[in-house]
Structure 1
Amino acid sequence: MDKYIFDEINGLWYELQEDYYIPCLILSEEETQPIGLWGQHHKQYLKEHRHIVYTTMLIEGTLNRYLADINQQAEQMFHRLIEEMAQKQGVTEQLKAKQPMEWIGLMNNIQACAREIVNNEIIFS
């Protein structure tokens, strides 16, 4: 038996593994793109609340590219919001040096607010 065979009907190559021919499938670059934490949250949202959209994008092969884009947008928005909120609330490096515990508390609150905004504006919409 040949190690590899080509099926002209479906255009796939098959590899012999033990007694069975298994199709040799290769994912495209778009499908192997990392989607990150925000993208995974949005993926879970799509699975649970927008199942038809999720399934359609999965079948068309556009899901990972879309999720990677969502992840990038969410990351940029998150960092921009943190910088803006910290500046408005006067959370500076001087505060970090003088009162580190207060700085940590303020930054944790800012990050929680930014995370909530990103979730509402991008991830769960």
Structure 2
Amino acid sequence: MEISLFELMGGTYHREGDYFLPNLLPPESISVGIWGQRRKHYLKTQREPIYTALLLSGKLDSHLSKVDAQAKAMFFQLVKRLEKREGITEQLKAEDQMEWVRQMNSARNRAEEVIYNELIYA
């Protein structure tokens, strides 16, 4: 039983002239949101050895995606908790929109600070 070199190497090939070249596809990229991009920027500028290690090991995108998902979930939970604790309601929105916007912006900013300190800059 004879095994060809192509069977041993696996994958698919195409012929160009006298040569068989592998059909190479770039690895699938994982979608990274704004929190993942912020984490990437922080690692790249402030923690370069960690960034390089993640990049070279091929784990950077999965790390950034994981941080992004955690940050999104944490952000919405914190904002909802602050809304409830501080009485930011739809009634306030109907009665005094500017006050509602001020309080919501304050809650969002505080939630962002928590995320920066616990996930992005950790």
**What is the TM-score of this pair, normalised by structure 2?**
0.81
Matches within 5 A, 1:83-98: 83-98=80-95
Runs of 5+ consecutive residues of structure 2 not aligned to the other structure: 1-14
CA radius of gyration, larger in:
2
Residue 48 (structure 2) aligns with = 51
Runs of 5+ consecutive residues of structure 1 not aligned to the other structure: 7-12, 15-23
In structure 2, how many angstroms separate the alpha carbons of the residues matched to 1:114 and 1:74? 10
In structure 2, how many angstroms separate the alpha carbons of the residues matched to 1:118 and 1:124? 9
Matches within 5 A, 1:56-71: 56-71=53-68
Aligned residue pairs, count: 107
The share of aligned pairs that are identical, in percent, is 36
Residue 27 (structure 2) aligns with = 27
How many Å apart are 1:25 and its aligned residue? 3.7
Whether 1:5 and 2:20 are equivalent positions in the alignment is yes
Q: Which runs of 4+ in 1 moved over 4 A?
A: none
Letter in 2 for 1:66: H
In structure 2, how many angstroms separate the alpha carbons of the residues matched to 1:81 and 1:73? 12
In structure 1, how many angstroms separate the alpha carbons of the residues matched to 2:32 and 2:20? 34
Residue 12 (structure 2) aligns with = none
Residue 69 (structure 2) aligns with = 72
How many Å apart are 1:74 and its aligned residue? 0.5
In structure 1, how many angstroms separate the alpha carbons of the residues matched to 2:38 and 2:20? 40
Whether 1:82 and 2:73 are equivalent positions in the alignment is no
